[in-house]
Amino acid sequence: MALLLTEHDVRRLLPMGDLIDAMDEALAAFSSGDIRQPVRSIVDLDSHGFFGVMPAAYGFDAPRGVMGAEAAGSKIVTVVPRNHERGLPSHFATIVMLDPQTGALDAILDGRYITEARTAAVSAVSARRLARHDARTVAIIGSGVQARSHAEALAHVVSNASFRIWSPREASRETAAREIGESIASLGATIATAATAHEAVAGADIIVLVTASTEPVIEDAWVRPGTHVIAVGACRPNHREMPPALVSGATLVVDSRAAAEQEAGDILLARADGFDVAIAAELGEVCAGRAPGRQQVDDVTIFKSLGLAIEDVVAGRLTVEHARRQGVGVGITLN
């Protein structure tokens, strides 16, 4: 019988520490060619937003760590920015897990939290692999759900992290800082608000961009040598959060070359502006030891995140495993 898992169920079943390790392994498998996954299909909803379909599958002769032996599934995700005016999240998602042997339905999971958490977990993998080992100060530009999840995830991989957060609305950043502070205190991390984006970024070891902006939200001159930049918010070809000079001058790592060449506005728009932008590696190549991570202490590294279907499928499989083991969820049949 298939399982139905709510967001409440998923939150209970998916610890961030486990998820970070699972994403490290999934990224390595993706860049090693062990994953069957096309670039996601995107359908525009007029001017309201868009939805994407993201399928992936993998299978192995023997269990592969936290990923397990095999899995198949797909996520359907919608992005409707104006939902905030309705008091609703801008992102909704549903993940459908299939039995890879029979093709039968295995589970239906609310995917909103999985999207939120796995995105941050992948960013934490990038920090673990690309940031300086002595990194402590983390700037977050943005105050939405990704700001919150990134603080939690990064607090797992950055010892005694000190966060600074900025977003345009003072009330939003104050609320986010208070909620984040409560969630990361047990991990030995602290957070404060900044009055400006420049104040948040100045001297930071890691910069996290999680905004809905379509134009750069920081300046190249603000980023000091040795910084690791995590760019998450701009996921369409005509959106960007980083100035082109920063993208051109840094060691640029992506989750998927194929997706980045189609969807990463931070890269595509910089090239359109006449800048030479080369992708150094996929993050999974670094995780698998097939490409170097940080090579010089003063290098500026960038991880441009777009999101991979395999991240959702691996997170979904991990959640379903925990659910069946703990007796969580509602059994359903569709025939």
Residue 234: the pLDDT is: 87
Weakest mean pLDDT among 79-93, 97-111, 308-322: 79-93
Nearest to 119 by CA among 42, 216, 267, 232: 232
Contacts of 116 (CB under 8 A, 6+ apart): 91, 145, 146, 149
Beta bridge partners of 302: 229, 252
Q: What is the CATH number of the domain that holds 179?
A: 3.40.50.720
Structure tokens at 256: 């998927």
State the average pLDDT over residues 10-34: 93
Residue 251's domain comprises 132-304
Asked whether residue 152 is assigned to any structural domain, the reply reads yes
Per-residue pLDDT band for 65 (boundaries 50, 70, 90) equals: low
90 and 10 both lie in a single domain = yes
Structural domain count of the chain: 2
Per-residue pLDDT band for 48 (boundaries 50, 70, 90) equals: confident
Percent of the chain, pLDDT > 90? 81
Strand order in the sheet with 91-98: 41-45, 49-59, 70-79, 91-98, 105-110, 2-5, 330-332
Residue 64: the pLDDT is: 57
State the average pLDDT over residues 185-210: 97
298 and 318 both lie in a single domain = no
- For the chain, the average pLDDT equals 93
Residue 62: the pLDDT is: 42
Query: Model-level pTM?
Result: 0.92
Question: Distances in Å between the alpha carbon of 69 and those of 63, 99, 228?
Answer: 4, 12, 33
Asked whether residue 120 is assigned to any structural domain, the reply reads no
Q: Where are the beta strands (DSSP E) in the chain?
A: 2-5, 41-45, 49-59, 70-79, 91-98, 105-110, 137-141, 162-166, 190-193, 206-209, 228-231, 251-254, 279-282, 301-304, 330-332
**pLDDT surpassing 50 at residue 280:** yes
